[in-house]
């Protein structure tokens, strides 16, 4: 008879063996944000279906308004991969999301917009003002970086945590003093009557965005993950040389005016990069920034959640 002590001793080993021998998934669940060009292009062109259906793998697409809820869905195993800005992954890691960075890309356009009639002219003018952005989003990080550049602290503004739809409405009715937002929403609002760009991302800091996946998915589907990263590189190359076609696809998918989407596509670099030491260091700076402000509850080490396609 196996004793209870012996059973408790061998169960972890059985768990490790089970995880290591997990069957590859026959379904890839992709989380994408409305208007995010790379994955929207993949969806409209059926790029992942063409790649994976011959291998017996189906593809399911799930839309999110922005990054934090996307990674929360990944954390609870509702999706397998997705694309987000630089900030959602550090909050997900602090929440013990057990997710992996599988590739990076240079971020596209972001800006701080001010509403019609605003008298704000410089970043220093944000002091004491209501600044809206998605909590835990890349716009959150850009806002803090802008304050640092202006010699202001986070305590110098009134942060208003709003998703893109609510923040856009608040901007138009003058309920906020500024809005930090990414493309294509930036492109959608920048030419609205009276709306001005207070500062562009190029005036503030360079940012990366990331393709993320659950650790469980990657470990059970390493070969598929490599194929996905390779396909994303190919999609980026197509996007760089087919910007009008890409803008048309995104417009069809989202219902956004094609001229606004074209502006967003024209300023996006569409460069997919493997995770490397420099990217990890830059992402650690993002994590440290939020931790130093007390906005991140624990210290995290970004390199603990990095997957490299060559390994």
pLDDT digits (tens, 9 = 90+) for 43-71: 999 999 999 999 999 999 999 988 999 99
Give the pLDDT score at 150. 98
Share of the chain above pLDDT 70, in %: 92
- What pLDDT does residue 20 have? 40
Residue 13 confidence (pLDDT) above 80: no
**pLDDT category of residue 309 using cuts at 50, 70 and 90:** confident
pLDDT class of 42 with cuts at 50, 70, 90: very high
Catalogue all structural domains in the chain, each as residue range(s) with its CATH number. Answer: 4-108+207-305 (3.40.190.10), 110-204 (3.40.190.10)
* Residue 39 neighbours by CB under 8 Å, 6+ apart: 30, 32, 33, 82, 83
Q: Give yes or no for residue 120 having a pLDDT over 60.
A: yes
Tell me which residue of 89, 119, 92 sits closest to 104, measured CA to CA. Answer: 89
């Amino acid at each position: 008879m196996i004793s209870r002590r012996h059973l408790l001793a061998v169960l972890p080993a059985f768990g490790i063996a089970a995880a290591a021998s997990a069957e590859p998934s026959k379904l890839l669940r992709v989380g994408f944000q409305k208007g995010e060009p790379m994955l929207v292009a993949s969806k409209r062109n059926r790029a992942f279906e063409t790649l994976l259906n011959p291998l017996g793998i189906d593809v399911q697409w799930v839309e999110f308004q922005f990054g934090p809820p996307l990674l929360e869905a990944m954390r609870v195993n509702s999706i397998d991969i997705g694309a987000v800005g630089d900030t959602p992954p550090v909050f997900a890691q602090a929440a013990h999301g057990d997710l992996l960075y599988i590739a990076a890309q240079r971020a596209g356009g972001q800006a701080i917009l001010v509403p019609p009639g605003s008298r704000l002219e410089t970043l220093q003018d944000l002091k004491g003002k209501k600044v809206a952005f998605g909590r835990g989003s890349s716009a959150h990080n850009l806002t803090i970086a802008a304050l640092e550049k202006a010699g202001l602290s986070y305590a110098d503004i009134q942060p208003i945590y709003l998703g893109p739809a609510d923040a856009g409405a608040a901007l138009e009715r003058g309920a906020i003093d500024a809005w930090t937002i990414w493309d294509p929403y930036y492109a959608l609002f920048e030419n609205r009557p009276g709306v001005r760009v207070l500062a562009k991302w190029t005036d503030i800091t360079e940012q990366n965005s990331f393709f993320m996946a659950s650790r469980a998915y990657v470990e059970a589907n390493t070969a598929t993950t490599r194929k996905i990263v390779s396909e994303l590189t190919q999609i980026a190359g197509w996007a760089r040389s087919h910007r009008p076609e890409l803008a048309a696809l995104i417009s069809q998918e989202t219902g956004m005016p094609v001229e606004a989407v074209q502006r967003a596509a024209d300023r996006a670099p569409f460069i997919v990069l493997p995770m490397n030491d420099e990217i990890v260091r830059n992402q650690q700076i993002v994590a440290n920034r939020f931790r130093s402000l007390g906005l991140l509850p624990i210290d995290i080490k970004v390199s603990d959640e990095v997957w490299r396609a060559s390994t």
